Amino acid sequence: MVITLVIMIDAMPKKYITEESTPYLFNFGKDQKESWIDPLFAFRGIETTFFTGKWPTSHGVWTEYELNNFSDKRALDLTYSKIINLTDLLYEDNLMSITRYLINRYIYNKATYNSGINLIPSHLTNYFTLTQNRSIFDMPDVNSCPTLFNQLTKSGIKYSITLPAKIGGDQASFQKILKNIEKKDEFNLYKIGILDKKGHKYGPDTKYFHLTLKQIDNNIKELVTKAEKYSETNVIIFSDHGMAPVNKRIDLFTILKPLKYEPLRDYLFFIDSTMVRFWFKDEKIHSYFRELLNKFTFGHCLTIDEYDILKIPRDPKYGQLVFVLDEGYIFHPDFFHKNSVMKGMHGYAYPINKEYFPFIMTTRNITLNEPDKLKVDFIDIYKIMLDSCSGKYN
């Protein structure tokens, strides 16, 4: 029997793979197969794309948060925003977002997922809701696009999923995958989460987390060796996005404050780190903002054509106007960070530097891309995973 071992590394650009920091991965890529992955301009939608094999224009998931349609009663609950307001007193970002999460989970009985991991200004918090309120691993389909796990179940393929542990971090989940691999399930997914945090905090300069990379590399080596001892193994290792250095910060609150139009009265806005999305009361205000934003040199407003090029769902719940930043800029503060300053960021509409792109590596028997393609697309990864456990590469 051949088993499939998928190792998904959050926020690992190709640049991190070096002979010094990650010798096992470095040689794996050389001896086996490797390729760039074409980055996808999506947030929550990236994971949804490679576990449904459909672009965001089909499965409909793009950002973490969308405009609330007010079917949720919480939106009308003013005490909710007052309680959330109190969390602002905590000052430290992690403490604030964890407290919000606990309020959502235990007072409002809301969060089965990552609800509340945000720092949306408290007076705006009722206006936004999670785009995908459950983990992709618990969903049979996303807007009628079946997930990989649904397909596996239908085909009678046994699988295990090992995600970053909430307590004990990556080392705890590593012990878990070592146990899971002993079960010899046909498909095994292992997600490594730590690099996203490190990359945001320090930027993609690996000297600050050389030891973390070494640890990850050792763990992968131990895991693959163990899997191969039990059974013939197809190994698929990939990252979901890269990480680019941040050079400049834009304070959007300061830009918006002196304008003649006011938030809530005239418009709503949501600041993701690399873009801002607006909803307007009327067309006149919409035009005013488009004209104002297009004067800035650090980004631009998305055109209708770009929605198709970038595979963004054309749904007003994601904003009537979207302004995207050029690589290297971030909005600070945004609706996820208030005091902590990010030195690395991903999620740019047009990433430029290939060094910071995501990558994929597989064992040699797997077909990585069609002969006419120089890179792998996220929807190809779905096919690679499914083909591997359907016996195509045995």
Least distance in Å: CB of 198 to Zn ion? Answer: 10
User: Using CB atoms, what's the residue nearest to Zn ion?
Assistant: 196
The residue among 66 and 196 lying less far from Zn ion, judged by its C-beta, is 196
Extended strands (E) in 31-185: 33-36, 65-67, 128-130, 141-142, 145-146, 159-162
The residue among 47 and 196 lying less far from Zn ion, judged by its C-beta, is 196
Q: Rule CB under 5 A: choose which of 47, 185, 186, 196 binds Zn ion.
A: 196
Least distance in Å: CB of 59 to Zn ion? Answer: 20
Amino acid identity for residue 58 in this structure: S
Least distance in Å: CB of 174 to Zn ion? Answer: 21
The residue among 33 and 346 lying less far from Zn ion, judged by its C-beta, is 346
Question: In the stretch 58-97, what mask flags binding to Zn ion with x, by CB under 5 A?
Answer: ----------------------------------------
Least distance in Å: CB of 254 to Zn ion? Answer: 24
Only one of the segments 40-48, 189-197, 297-305, 333-341 lies at the binding site for Zn ion (rule: CB under 5 A); that segment is: 189-197
Least distance in Å: CB of 11 to Zn ion? Answer: 5
| Angle of the 210-230 helix axis to the 23-31 helix axis, nearest 10 | 50
The residue among 185 and 196 lying less far from Zn ion, judged by its C-beta, is 196
The residue among 268 and 342 lying less far from Zn ion, judged by its C-beta, is 342
Only one of the segments 50-58, 126-134, 191-199, 277-285 lies at the binding site for Zn ion (rule: CB under 5 A); that segment is: 191-199
Least distance in Å: CB of 305 to Zn ion? Answer: 28
Please list every residue from 106 through 145 that binds Zn ion, using CB under 5 A.
Answer: none
Torsion angles phi and psi, residue 114, rounded to 5? -95, 25
| 47 lies in the binding site for Zn ion (CB under 5 A) | no
> In angstroms, what is the C-alpha Rg of the chain?
21
> Do the Cβ atoms of 113 and 101 come closer than 8 Å?
no
Would the CA dihedral through 50, 15, 200, 206 be positive or negative?
Answer: positive
Task: Give 208's contacts (C-beta < 8 A, 6+ positions apart).
Answer: 198, 201, 202
Extended strands (E) in the chain: 2-9, 33-36, 65-67, 128-130, 141-142, 145-146, 159-162, 187-192, 232-239, 244-245, 248-250, 267-272, 275-280, 299-301, 321-325, 329-331, 344-345, 359-362
Least distance in Å: CB of 200 to Zn ion? Answer: 6
Binding site for Zn ion (CB under 5 A): 196
